[in-house]
Amino acid sequence: MASKSAAPVAAPMYFGWYIVATCFFVSFLSIPGRQGFGLFVTEMEPTFGWDRSDISWVGSVGFLMNGAMQPIMGALFDKYGPRRVFGIGLAIMGLAIMSLAFMMDMDLLVNLGFIKIPLDLLWFILVFSIVINTCLSAASITNMLALVVRWFRRKRSKATGLAAAGTSFGGLLMIPFAAYLMGVINESGFSLLGMELAGWRAVWFLLGIMVTFMAAPLAVFFLRPNPEEMGLNPDGDPNPEDLPPGTAPASRQSGLYEVDSWRKCFSTPPMWQLSGAYVVCGITTGLLSIHFIPYAEDILPDTVNFLWLSFDDKKVFAALIFGLMTGLNAAGVIITGFMGDRMRRKNVLSIVYGTRGVAFMALVFLPFFGYPMLGLVAFALLSGMSWVASVPLTSTLTADVYGFRALGTISGWVFFSHQIGSFISIQMAGYAYEWFGNSYFWPFLIAGLTLIPAAIAAYSIKEYHYSGRYNSRPAGQLATATAGAGSVRY
């Protein structure tokens, strides 16, 4: 009597994809607390009597603090793993965001010796710029991608692109929703701890609740430092003993400059090429995060008619354009992620910077010639495909060149250069706005032009020579060859 064969059992999904999904949702829930800052600019200015340069200090110091803390948080990530660093950072960050709802208008100047600053503005700087952005550096996209690249080798660009898409979907859905709530709850808020929370106060409070009670638990429950801890291989590849006879798994390759200490990377060309391009990336993205929505409000009419829709509140339409741009980032990072697994990643990165430069020219010159709506939409489409796409490409290139031994710290230093650019552009745009008669024309034009050298710097990286992706040297052997050795291929 013939026995029935057992039904095939489907292999469980590789745990690395749970890591990707967790990073996606943590980014989705936490990024509006910073990327949505532009929503609060024109709302908080009249409440506290601040001007555009005052509130630009809050954003620019926040970006700089976030970058300065990134190498430290990267080192903690390398030492203690993602669960502790992400969990603690997100929990404190959420509580700090919630506390912004209770800010009071304090008619008092604090003398810091070199400057007198309003007490309420100083409080905003301490909470948002220092506490929130320090915690954000713990759970930053840089640390997330440094985690993801450890779980993948063959599908590294695709995995990092999917993880980074969380910031895009967060911007697409959460920022317009926050703008909508700001208007709705402005009519009827709710009382808490003796204070009426309405408008921007209620939105800060709700964003903080999501980070504390949703994002932080996700990170603690699901994140793991590497596949080896769970007895797995990168990409879910089988163990050698499970392979058919005569086959062997691909060994991990090392780059020309794979290092065991983050200090060594500063004597190598790729570090400066990646960091130089990332300074420009920070100049453009930091400017957008803080000043894009106020810029859109400046150039739009009071009543916006777009296609079959009419908007009486131009802030909501500006937030929708910003949301469209960040939503398209999801497509951008996924597309460039797939391209990065099939092409030279430095070429894809150069294309990303070039596309963003074209987007800035559309944003600046189309409104200048009387087409503000067309300029905003064109910018959203072009910039949306290129804004976040530079992040996973830079992270994977860094991992390819320098390996994993100090990746969190090295990525942190690269990201610090990004935030230096953000600090400069946010601060200068705030002052330039007032210098040039309440106009953003020159700040946005200059930022767009800086993308030309960024594209050149990215393209000049000798990826074939530097990257472990094209190098047959065993991973355990740290390379000491110089950049000029051997033939050079790009």
- Phi, psi of 109, rounded to the nearest 5 degrees: -100, 135
Helix (H) or strand (E) holding 304: strand 304-306
What is the C-alpha to C-alpha distance for residues 377 and 232, in angstroms, rounded to an integer?
Answer: 45
pLDDT at 22: 94
Pick from 456, 449, 469, 445: nearest CA to 153: 469
Amino acid identity at 388: V
Beta pairing class for 304-306 and 116-118: unpaired
Facing residues of 310 across strands?
305
Is the pTM for the entire model greater than 0.75? Answer: no
pLDDT at 35: 67
pLDDT at 483: 42
Secondary structure (3-state) at 311: strand
Structure tokens at 345: 């990643």
Secondary structure (3-state) at 111: strand
Beta pairing class for 195-197 and 309-311: unpaired
Domain residue limits, the chain? 16-237+252-470
What is the C-alpha to C-alpha distance for residues 207 and 263, in angstroms, rounded to an integer?
Answer: 38
pLDDT tens digits, 369-407: 888 888 888 998 888 888 778 888 888 888 888 887 777
**Residue that is written with structure tokens 């709700």 in the block:** 206
**Helix boundaries (H) for 252-313:** 269-299
Sign of CA dihedral 305, 310, 312, 313: negative
What is the C-alpha to C-alpha distance for residues 446 and 341, in angstroms, rounded to an integer?
Answer: 33
**Residue that is written with structure tokens 């509130």 in the block:** 55
Instruction: Please compute Rg for the chain using Cα positions.
Output: 23
pLDDT at 159: 87
Check if the beta carbon of residue 103 is closer than 8 Å to that of residue 34. Answer: no
Q: What is the CATH number of domain 16-237+252-470?
A: 1.20.1250.20
pLDDT tens digits, 299-339: 877 666 666 666 667 777 787 788 778 778 778 877 887 78
Sequence-separated contacts (24+) of 116-125 with Cβ below 8 Å: 118/48, 118/49, 118/50, 118/54, 120/48, 121/48, 121/50, 121/54, 121/57, 121/58, 124/44, 124/58, 124/100, 125/57, 125/58, 125/61
Residues in the chain: 490
CA distances, 90 to each of 28, 216, 217, 221 (Å)? 13, 5, 9, 13
Beta pairing class for 190-192 and 304-306: unpaired
Quick one: DSSP state of residue 12?
P
Q: From the first residue on, what is the mean pLDDT of each consecutive set of 10 residues in the chain (490 residues)?
A: 48 85 89 72 79 78 84 87 92 92 78 74 88 88 85 83 80 77 72 74 89 92 89 77 54 67 85 92 86 84 67 74 78 80 87 93 90 87 82 83 81 86 85 83 92 93 77 50 44
Amino acid identity at 437: G
